[in-house]
Amino acid sequence: MTEPSPETTQQAKPEDVANPEAAAPVEETAPLNPITALTQEVDRWKDLSYRSQAELDNFSKRADLLRALFPILDNFDMGLEAARAESEKSMIFMGMSMVGRQLHDFLRESGVQEIEALGKTFDPNLHEAVSQETSADIAEGTILRVTRRGYKLKDRMLRAASVIVSSGPAPTPEA
């Protein structure tokens, strides 16, 4: 009898003894039926589609709820300003201030951000110009006042800020 050559003899290596799975032969799995593989792929894409649709529906519901809250918040802020004008030390003003902070905290925790407007350059993507006023001190295109706050949820616009924009200095009459 002849001895087997070193190439055909399997010798145990020290790392194989420490890890018996490494020395075990790897079994190959049979390839899937092409129809089964495609069916699984279709099912995976359907699941992804359903999940994406559900996520979009949830976002829309959340955005609609927040949009419905904005006019209430606007009216609340007007009431708070009226209470402040009366007296900042009144119990009504202090109570309304606490509720106002809670409302703003709720919006912030929900991912809502107020759109910066006052003193900024007018941006039609973020602001809605309701009027223009002349101003000798403020450059043309700069926002003078905010008449209604704007909000966005993450990067999506919920409501544009309504603003009054400077038209620059008044034209001088020519002689």
Q: Are 163 and 143 in contact (CB under 8 A)?
A: yes
In a domain, 12, yes or no: no
Q: Dihedral through CA 92, CA 98, CA 104, CA 110, nearest 10?
A: -130
Q: What total number of domains does the chain contain?
A: 2
Q: Which of 92, 110, 128 corresponds to the end of one domain?
A: 110
User: Are residue 137 and residue 99 in the same domain, yes or no?
Assistant: no
User: Are residue 155 and residue 96 in the same domain, yes or no?
Assistant: no
pLDDT at 31: 66
In a domain, 3, yes or no: no
User: Are residue 44 and residue 90 in the same domain, yes or no?
Assistant: yes
Q: Which tens digit of pLDDT belongs to each residue from 89-125?
A: 889 899 999 999 999 999 999 899 999 999 999 999 9
Range of the domain at 136: 113-168
Alpha-carbon gap, residue 78 to 174, rounded angstroms: 43
In a domain, 27, yes or no: no
In a domain, 8, yes or no: no
pTM value is: 0.66
Alpha-carbon gap, residue 104 to 90, rounded angstroms: 21
User: Are residue 156 and residue 119 in the same domain, yes or no?
Assistant: yes
User: Are residue 91 and residue 145 in the same domain, yes or no?
Assistant: no
User: Are residue 133 and residue 74 in the same domain, yes or no?
Assistant: no
pLDDT at 171: 78
Beta bridge mates, 151? 114, 159
The percentage of residues in the chain with a pLDDT greater than 70, rounded to a whole number, is: 81
pLDDT at 26: 53
pLDDT at 154: 84
Alpha-carbon gap, residue 49 to 153, rounded angstroms: 23
pLDDT at 8: 46
**Domain CATH number, residue 147:** 2.30.22.10
In a domain, 5, yes or no: no
In a domain, 134, yes or no: yes
User: Are residue 98 and residue 148 in the same domain, yes or no?
Assistant: no
User: Are residue 105 and residue 124 in the same domain, yes or no?
Assistant: no
Q: Which of 90, 110, 130 corresponds to the end of one domain?
A: 110
Query: Which ranges of the chain have pLDDT less than 50?
Result: 1, 4-12, 14, 16-17, 20, 175
Q: Which of 88, 110, 132 corresponds to the end of one domain?
A: 110
